[in-house]
Amino acid sequence: MIDDNPKLTVLCTTYNHGAYIRQALESFVSQKTDFKFEVVIGDDGSTDGTSEICHEFAEKYPDIIFHFVRDRRISLTYKFLAQYNSIESWKSCRGKYISFCNGDDCFEHPYVLQKQVDFLDAHPDYGLVHGGASYYFEENQQLSPYVKGRPGIPEGNIYNDLFSGNFIKSCGVCFRIEILRIMQEMIQSITKWVTFDHMYWIEACARGYKIGYIDEPLSIYRIHRQSTMHSDQISKDIGNAKLKYKIRYYFLQKYGAPYTHDELLVFYLRNARQIALNYRKPRLAARYERFLNQALRKVYEKNEMMFQADDAFWF
């Protein structure tokens, strides 16, 4: 029996990316591969012309592009806005491998999918591969190209490295369908906060999946033009810093980690203080400085107790 399923699914979630989605779709259909692939577009009820462009491509490439439009009213009933679109889009993926690219990003060249699949085919013990990204800055319309030979990109079982920070650009990621199953499990079971790609990669590593790296540009990551000096943005940035702290604590409790809870708190407070300084909010920065000093004192006292215990053991 011939398996008619594609070997790979390009998963593209989008909402009001009318200015960018055509470039993304063109980069998908121009991919040159020796295998069959599909493109699943999860459109979260766009209202700016995104849906019409996606429909145009789906009609032109009916064997490749599958366009699903969500009811925005349903999305708004979910605790986290993009959750519904993600859950439903993942259900439509048929490939053995899943390649991510959002509607406001695009692939760098026509051989991205082939390189991703070649790597995973050649490394059956690896669950995910990612690559470099060039950056496009909307504000001045400048492209900052990726430079090969970046030092220090870890590979293999990199749980501890990912725990320290996320260096994987989702628009250059390709992974096995089994990791998508992990993502589906997590998005349904974790209801306290929004799940996102960094969590998925940490969880995959914790379950034994290795991660590889292709040292060349696979995608173009778009940095949007935005005002960065208003109160809504600072609240969002500090909220994201707090979310990262909570997520690290979640994995610390679940699998263990190279840091203690107090050290994670110090990382968060340092980050929050720096964000406040960046936004020129000295009173807010001073508040985080006080909390940070209290947390540092606790870490210092615990380390002192540990050193004293070591001294008692050795001497």
Burial degree of 140 (CB within 10 A; 0-12, 13-18, 19+): exposed
Residue pair 117/214 in contact by the 8 Å Cβ criterion? no
204 in the same domain as 110: yes
Q: What is the dihedral of CA 227, 228, 232, 236, to 10 degrees?
A: 130
Mean pLDDT of 120-125: 97
pLDDT at 180 over 80: yes
Boundary-marking domain end, from 191, 223, 255: 223
- Going by pLDDT thresholds of 50, 70 and 90, the confidence category of residue 1 is very low
Burial degree of 268 (CB within 10 A; 0-12, 13-18, 19+): buried
187 in the same domain as 124: yes
Who contacts 99 (Cβ-Cβ below 8 Å, separation ≥6)? Answer: 8, 9, 10, 11, 112, 113, 116, 173, 174
pLDDT for 108: 96
How many domains is the chain partitioned into structurally?
Answer: 2
Higher pLDDT, 297 or 10: 10
66-75, 88-97, 191-200, 237-246: segment of lowest average pLDDT: 191-200
Q: What is the DSSP letter of 49?
A: S
Boundary-marking domain end, from 223, 258, 275: 223
pLDDT for 193: 62
Q: Evaluate whether residue 206 is within a structural domain.
A: yes
288 in the same domain as 203: no
Boundary-marking domain end, from 170, 189, 223: 223
207 in the same domain as 239: no
pLDDT at 3 over 80: no
3-state SS class at 92: coil
209 in the same domain as 71: yes
Q: Taking phi first (over 0 means left), then psi (-120 to 50 degrees means alpha), and beta for anything else, what does residue 133 get? A: beta
Residue pair 201/191 in contact by the 8 Å Cβ criterion? no
pLDDT for 11: 97
Buried b (16+ CB within 10 A) or exposed e, 288-311: bbeebeebbeeeeeeeeeeeeeee
259 in the same domain as 123: no
89 in the same domain as 44: yes
pLDDT at 137 over 60: yes
179 in the same domain as 65: yes
Mean pLDDT of 85-92: 92
pLDDT tens readout for residues 187-223: 877 766 666 788 999 999 999 999 999 999 999 999 8
- Going by pLDDT thresholds of 50, 70 and 90, the confidence category of residue 232 is low
pLDDT tens readout for residues 239-260: 888 888 888 899 999 999 888 8
Q: Which domain holds residue 125?
A: 8-223
Q: Evaluate whether residue 301 is within a structural domain.
A: yes
| Phi/psi at 156 (5° precision) | 95, -140
28 in the same domain as 151: yes
135 in the same domain as 106: yes
Q: Evaluate whether residue 1 is within a structural domain.
A: no
Task: Provide the CATH number for the domain around residue 94.
Answer: 3.90.550.10
Tell me how far apart the 2 most distant CA atoms of the chain are, in Å. Answer: 78
pTM: 0.87
Mean pLDDT of 290-313: 63
Q: Evaluate whether residue 2 is within a structural domain.
A: no
215 in the same domain as 245: no
pLDDT tens readout for residues 21-67: 999 999 999 999 999 999 999 999 999 999 999 999 999 999 999 99
Higher pLDDT, 248 or 130: 130
155 in the same domain as 19: yes
Cα–Cα dist 122/92, whole Å: 26
Who contacts 84 (Cβ-Cβ below 8 Å, separation ≥6)? Answer: 44, 70, 74, 75, 77, 78
Q: Evaluate whether residue 270 is within a structural domain.
A: yes
